[in-house]
Amino acid sequence: MFIAHGTQDAVLPVHATSRRVVPALGRCPPSAVPGRAAAPWVLTTAYDGGMSTPWTGAAGLALVVDPATDDAAHDLDRGIEFLREVGAGTRPATVRLYRPSPTVAFGQRDARLPGFPDAADASSAHGFAPLVRRAGGRAAAYHRGCLIVDHVEPAADAVVGTRARFGAFGDFFARVLTDVGLDAHVGEVAGEYCPGEFTVHGRRAGVPEVKLVGTAQRVVAGAWLFSSVIVVEDAEPLRAVLTDVYAALGLVWRPATAGAAQDLAPGVTVDDVETALLAAYADVVHLDVQDAPRPV
C-alpha cells in the first residue's frame, strides 16, 4: 500500500554491499560521509527503554549510510527489499541515508499521460534517469545535492498512524532544517511540484517560497517505510529538468517553488544537513555502533 504526500514514492533503497554507519551520538565524522574513504560500520539496536520518538516508533535504530551509486533503478527497488525484510523480522528497525544519482521519479498517473514518452526523453536529455514509481504522486527530481532518508520500522498494523507519521516526520525535518539556519515549516507551497500537504518548505521574509522536503510512505504486512528527499544544494538542474518534464506532461506548476536549502541559507551543504539530521535522531533514539568486517 502506498500513501503519497510529497516528493517521491517511499521506496528508496539500500545498496546490499559497502554499507557504512554513523556512530552513536549522531555526529557525522569525515569517515562516515559518502565519497570519503572509510572502514564500514554496522549499527546495532539493543536498547533498554527510556526514550520516546515523535513518530511513536522503535527506541533503537540500525543506521546505514550508503555511498553513492549510479544505479538509480536498483536503489529504488532496494527500498522495497528493506521494507519486506523488516516486515518479515529478518532486519531490525532501520534508517538509511544516501545521496542519489540524478533521477526523475515519475508517478503511475504520469506514466499514463500522452506526454509521458516526451517527458522521459526530456529527463534523459538533462542527464536524469527516468524511472516510474510503483504508485502515486507526481514527477519529482533529485540528484547528488539531495539527501534521501529511508526510515523503516516493524508494526503489527502498519496502516494505523500513517497520517500521524506524516505530521511527526514533517515537524522533525523542519526542525533539522531550522538547526542549519532556515525558516522551515510544514505545509504545501502553492504551485509546487508533486504537491503534498506535509511538504517541508522554506520561507523568505515569512512567506512560504521553496519546497525543501517531500515525503511518502509505503506499508506492507508487518512494517512501514517512510521516505524523504531533502533538497540541499544546486537547485538549478532540478528546476530545469522539472520545467521540461512538467511541460511535456501538460502539468501546471510554478518553477520558482523548486529550490534548495542553499537558496535560503547560502553555504549550507549536504554534510551540514546530514550532521544535523543525525544529531536530531540521536536526541530521540538509541544508537549503538559496532565494527563490522569489510564486505568482500
Most confidently modeled of 42-56, 70-84, 156-170?
Answer: 156-170
Give the separation between CA 259 and CA 212, rounded to whole angstroms. Answer: 7
Cβ-proximal residues to 276 (8 Å cutoff; 6+ apart), any chain? 176, 177, 179, 180
**In the chain, where the domains are located:** 2-291
Torsion angles phi and psi, residue 295, rounded to 5: -60, 140
Average pLDDT value over all residues in the chain: 82
Note the pLDDT of residue 105.
94
Chain centroid to CA 52: how far? Answer: 22
Give the separation between CA 289 and CA 39, rounded to whole angstroms. Answer: 13
Look up the CATH number of domain 2-291: 3.30.930.10
In tens, the pLDDT along 26-40 reads 223 333 333 333 322
Q: Tell me the percentage of the chain whose pLDDT exceeds 70.
A: 78
In this model, does residue 1 exceed pLDDT 90? no
Note the pLDDT of residue 6.
42
Calculate Rg over the CA atoms of the chain. Answer: 18
Give the SS3 label for residue 264: helix
In tens, the pLDDT along 251-283 reads 999 999 999 999 999 999 999 999 999 999 989
In tens, the pLDDT along 180-238 reads 999 999 999 999 999 999 999 999 999 999 999 999 889 999 999 999 999 999 999 99
